[in-house]
Structure 1
């Protein structure tokens, strides 16, 4: 070590020291306290070793916990404004054109909701009531529009004279 060199090796890793205070020229490592009772820490300490293969085999892979994505904040119904009407294609083996709407919920989040039943009168800026409930053959559609509430008309019953 050179005179005036403030680094030394500890366990194979260099440790750099800082002056403990301005009133004395003493240099201490780690958790020691200087004569004037002011503690300090080194610039960096020894590095931590990685986990062993046996430990990783027992513990399994580390999986990050994701916060749950609940657009409706655990509420059964929520008012929403229609942004756009959509037509979605279902997954195999079904084939149809499912009527959906992109809505902005009252909490500001945007979701896609399915409009059940045949025919609807929804346009942009209509106010609808949205409930939870996945549509099984539509990818990513986890909400449904409640028919007969607010601006969404109920499903029309077929008239008996139609042949």
Structure 2
């Protein structure tokens, strides 16, 4: 580099050359690294789904929402409860969440949340599992659908009945 810079300059005496080289800016080393941030594992070109939609980029379809792997592309999967137990939620919440370990028809084992107040889930009960995590329970990535197969709907539920498998009450 020094030889290259000296060859571009007109011929000066030995005292003038150091003064001239002090004024020539050096190329920062960060410019030579292409598209990589210093302390990041990802490249600068990665973006979220919302950012891709704003840009109207043709590659926006690559930023899809992640699907539940154990459902193997379908919306639901039938399974059999192997264990019904409770877990404590993450901080700052405090409760006892009801969950079940389920062996799906695909052969995979998942932990699924049982929504609603009270349940009749037991070991060997056949259940229908959908995707969707319980936000404050670590490792719980699936929900059991109430009112299908062996899991009864929530007793006494009046509002949001479709989410808890409750039939419309008869009015007399």
TM class, shorter-chain normalised? 0.5 to 0.7
Q: How does 1:4-153 map to 2 (within 5 A)?
A: 57-60=33-36, 70-153=69-152
Please name the residue that 1:21 is paired with. none
Higher helix share: 2
Please name the residue that 1:155 is paired with. 154
TM-score when scaled to structure 1?
0.56
Runs of 4+ that moved beyond 6 A? 53-56
Give the secondary-structure state (helix, strand or coil) at the position aligned to 1:71.
helix
Counterparts of 1:86 and 1:94, CA distance in 2:
18
Superposed displacement of residue 157, structure 1 = 0.4
Give the secondary-structure state (helix, strand or coil) at the position aligned to 1:103.
strand
Q: Deviations over 1:88-124 (max 9, x none)?
A: 1111111000000000110000000000001111111
TM-score when scaled to structure 2?
0.54
Higher strand share: 1
Counterparts of 1:150 and 1:133, CA distance in 2:
19
Superposed displacement of residue 56, structure 1 = 8.5
Identify if the C-alpha distance between structure 1 residues 115 and 56 changes in structure 2 by more than 3 Å, giving closer, same or farther. farther
Give the secondary-structure state (helix, strand or coil) at the position aligned to 2:122.
coil
Q: Deviations over 1:29-75 (max 9, x none)?
A: xxxxxxxxxxxxxxxxxxxxxxxx87993253777xxxx87111121
Superposed displacement of residue 133, structure 1 = 1.1
Identify if the C-alpha distance between structure 1 residues 130 and 69 changes in structure 2 by more than 3 Å, giving closer, same or farther. closer
Q: CA RMSD in A?
A: 2.5
Counterparts of 2:41 and 2:97, CA distance in 1:
40
Gaps of 5+ in 2: 1-28, 43-66, 158-172
The size of the alignment, in residue pairs, is 103
Give the secondary-structure state (helix, strand or coil) at the position aligned to 2:70.
coil
